[in-house]
Amino acid sequence: MIKNDLLLRALRGEEVERPPVWMMRQAGRYLPEFIELRDKYDFFTRCQTPELAAEITVQPIRRFPLDAAIIFSDILVVPQAMGMDFEMRPGVGPWLEKPIRTLQDVENIPVVDVEEELGYVYAAMDLTKKELDNNIPLIGFAGSPWTILCYAVEGQGSKSFDKAKSFCFKNPIAAHMLLEKITQTTIDYLLKKVEHGANVIQIFDSWGGMLSPADYDEFSWKYIERIVNELSKVVPVTVFAKGCWFALEKMADSKASALGVDWTITPELARQFTGNKKTLQGNFDPARLLSPPEKIQELVVDMIDRFGTQKYIANLGHGILPNVPVENAQAFIEAVVNYKK
C-alpha cells in the first residue's frame, strides 16, 4: 500500500484534505544535484542508465514534500526503440538524421519487443520503486502518437511542425500507418511500465495545439483515446494536451481519470468545459515561478481557490523551466501543502 495516496484518491475523485502536488519535469533541470550529473553524462546516457535515471527521479523527492515521483526518461525513447536514431544535440534539442518522410519509411519501421528494447526504463523503475519504499506513487509517461510523429517527420523541434502537418495532409495513409505503429508500441510500453510499478500513467500531447479541432480528432485524439482505453483497465491515466482547451469537452467523456490544462485557460472555463466530470491538473504558468516566492505563494492560493480542493491536482501548465530558482519551486510546493480553505 502507498503510504501517501493523496494523488490516487484525487484521481478517483474521492474527498481529499488538500490537493496533491507534483510538477512536470520536476526530476531535473533546475536542481543543482541534477546539473552535476548533466555535466558528467549526456542526456540519453542519463535516460538509458537505470541507476542514473532512478537517482534523478528521487532527487526532488529528497528535497520537497511532493505527493508523487515521475520517472526520469523522455518521450523519444519510444521512437528510438522503433529504430529512429534520435539524439539530443546541444543548442538544437531532439535531432533525427533521417526523418520519416515516405510510405516506404513507415513500412520499414519494425514491430519491436518493448521489454527487450526499453528494458533500461523498467530497470530504472524497479530501482526507483525500492528507493521510494511505497511512500508516494510513481508516475510513468509517454508522448502522444501525434507528438511522436511530429518529431519523427520533422526530424527536430519546430515552431509550426509544418513538415509533419504536410506529411499528414498529403500522405494520410502513411500518416495513419505511422500513428498506428506508434500507438501499439506505446500501449505495450506503458502496460509494461505498470507491471514494473507505475501507479499512474500520463500521456503528454505537447503539440496537439498545433492542429485544428477537426485535424486533432483525426490525427491525435483518437489514438490517445485508444491508449487511454487500454491503460485505464489497470491504472489511472492523465492526459495532458497542451493548447487543446477546445478538446476538453470531448476528453471529459473519455476513460481518463484526469485532464491536464495549461495556463491559457481559466480554472472556471476548464471546469465548465469538462462539466466537473474529471479531476483537473495544472495550470500554473511555469514562467510565473520566476516571480518572488511570496508572489508565487499568493498565486498558488488563488489557483486552488478557483479550481477548488476536490478533483484537482496542483501542477504547472507545462514543464518547469531550467532557470527557476530552487527556492521558488519550493515556494510553489509548500503553498499547496500548507493550503487552507
Binding-site sequence positions: 25-29, 44, 74, 151, 206, 318
Detail the residues annotated as belonging to a binding site for substrate: 25-29, 44, 74, 151, 206, 318
Residue 139 has which C-alpha cell? Answer: 508516475
Catalytic residue among 9, 25, 63, 226: 25
- How far is 92 from 319, CA to CA, in rounded Å? 18
* Centroid of chain to Cα 39: 24
Contact criterion met (CB below 8 Å) for 95 and 87: yes
- Sequence-ordered alpha helix ranges (H) in the chain: 6-11, 32-38, 43-48, 50-63, 77-81, 103-107, 114-117, 119-132, 145-154, 162-170, 172-195, 213-216, 222-231, 248-251, 267-274, 293-307, 326-337
- How far is 204 from 182, CA to CA, in rounded Å? 14
- Please report how the helices 293-307 and 267-274 are oriented relative to each other, as an axis angle in degrees rounded to 10: 30
To the query of whether residue 9 is one of the catalytic residues in this protein, the response is no
To the query of whether residue 46 is one of the catalytic residues in this protein, the response is no
Angle at 72 between CA 239 and CA 85, to 5 degrees: 90
To the query of whether residue 89 is one of the catalytic residues in this protein, the response is no
Question: Of 295, 266, 187, which Cα lies nearest the Cα of 234?
Answer: 187
315: β partners? 283
260: β partners? 240, 281
Decide the pairing of beta strands 279-284 and 258-261: parallel
Catalytic residue among 9, 38, 63, 101: 38
- How far is 327 from 13, CA to CA, in rounded Å? 31
To the query of whether residue 151 is one of the catalytic residues in this protein, the response is yes
DSSP conformation letters of 250-288: HHTTSS-SEEEE-TTS-HHHHHHHHTT-SEEEEEE-GGG
Tell me the one-letter amino acid at 281.
Q
Catalytic residue among 5, 67, 74, 188: 74
Catalytic residue among 122, 151, 189, 216: 151
Active site residues: 25, 29, 38, 74, 151
